Structure 1
């Protein structure tokens, strides 16, 4: 704490009665007090300047930091706006894709419903075909049974006819019948002569004969009756043997 110079009260009448009146102004003390005051003022000023400079520097640093922070915030804000635009674009695209997907799903559902209806209709048709097939199968079994009965009845007669006529007929494939003859060549009664009948079409064809017959096209042109063809082919075999072939 600064010492304050205390000035004593003057006794002016007592001073004036002196032979050489003098007033002690205490200049040394004043000067000392003044120097102390000026030093205190100088210290205060220096401290104030230092504090002001410190605060100024801090203010400028805070201002720079605030400016940098504001710049960073502005940059981040700009980036956020760009990202927001991109996100909006993505959301719009996803919304469009969702709309297209929903339309596709709706179309697939309609197709599925139509397919289910067709399947139900086909199931009904399949069941109807199964019933028809079962009926046909029963009818075929019945016919097969009848044919077996007829075959059993005529088998002895057929075997007797084949042995008497020396002619054997057998199926060798779908719509193909093999007809074999013996007792045509007197020199070798066991020699076989044969032809194959193809009845897959309305007009009967003869794919092959053994041995080959040059007159076969003429025979086929003259008749399409299988019995007639068999008889005429046998006669052609007889003629062929007579010619020494």
Structure 2
């Protein structure tokens, strides 16, 4: 306790007190200085009370700080536990991933081994295919050469056929051309002795089962009967012969002495073509003619 709360000690002599009381004839008394003592006690008690209040305040402050610290530590503990749980979950996922990757690596190793075996077989097959390809290339080259040779032969034959076709058309006075899909244009000449180049034409439509003639120049009065007969017998060759006869009947002055093929070629063969072509004889004797017939 601080020294300010205590009175300084004052020495008291008991003999002096007794002597003083004896000489004065009074009862001996000792002055205890109660008032200062009481003041000192009051001051002491006040100091104790103040100390108690300060101690309580400090204890309350420390308790509040402790509660806050405990709360913070609890929150920190929960956060740490949450992180630990999260890390454990991540660890479990990582371990599962590692295990899966281990299996994947094993599968990939097996697949790689199989692919290497397949690659080896493929290389062997590729070598065999390359050898076959070289052989095929040689065959193709030889075949191409043969095709080119045949193409030249066909081209030469086509040229001869074109000449023969031209001669045949000139001899027969008949040209057949395709004008549209399923339509044939027939041009007849050598029917009028005064004008051998005069053209008689007809378009026949064969797109349907019943043949029709959308155009005929000049018109034929017997055309319906000719079509009826064609649709009945389906004989196009005979139809052409009958149409030619019908066109020739329209000529005012038909030839006086028709040949044996007059029903096909009209007034007769042209002299220069018949004389200059070796194939004209085949037409004259009938060996080059074939029957045209369209089946129903």
Spell out structure 1 runs of 4+ moving beyond 6 A.
5-8, 181-185, 211-214
Specify which of 158, 172, 179 is matched with residue 154 of structure 2.
Answer: 158
* SS of residue matched to 2:36: helix
Unaligned runs of 5+ in 1: 13-21, 167-180, 194-210, 215-238
- State the alpha-carbon separation in 2 of the partners of residues 110 and 51 from structure 1: 85
- State the alpha-carbon separation in 2 of the partners of residues 45 and 80 from structure 1: 50
Residue 126 (structure 1) shift:
3.5
Residues 140-179 of structure 1 mapped to structure 2, 5 A cutoff: 140-165=136-161
Give the structure, 1 or 2, with the largest relative contact order (CA under 8 Å, sep 6 or more).
Answer: 2
TM-score of the pair, normalised by structure 2: 0.45
Residues 5-154 of structure 1 mapped to structure 2, 5 A cutoff: 23-24=23-24, 34=32, 37-154=33-150
Unaligned runs of 5+ in 2: 1-7, 180-205, 210-234, 241-293
- State the alpha-carbon separation in 1 of the partners of residues 48 and 86 from structure 2: 55
- State the alpha-carbon separation in 2 of the partners of residues 148 and 156 from structure 1: 12
TM-score of the pair, normalised by structure 1: 0.52
- State the alpha-carbon separation in 2 of the partners of residues 125 and 188 from structure 1: 68
- State the alpha-carbon separation in 2 of the partners of residues 163 and 53 from structure 1: 143
Residue 187 (structure 1) shift:
4.2
- State the alpha-carbon separation in 1 of the partners of residues 168 and 108 from structure 2: 72
Query: For each residue in 1:213-243, what CA deviation from the matched residue of structure 2 results, as whole angstroms up to 9, or x when unmatched?
Result: 97xxxxxxxxxxxxxxxxxxxxxxxx74653
Query: For each residue in 1:107-146, what CA deviation from the matched residue of structure 2 results, as whole angstroms up to 9, or x when unmatched?
Result: 3223322332343234224423432332233112211221
- State the alpha-carbon separation in 2 of the partners of residues 182 and 107 from structure 1: 83
- State the alpha-carbon separation in 2 of the partners of residues 25 and 136 from structure 1: 162
Residue 49 (structure 1) shift:
1.0
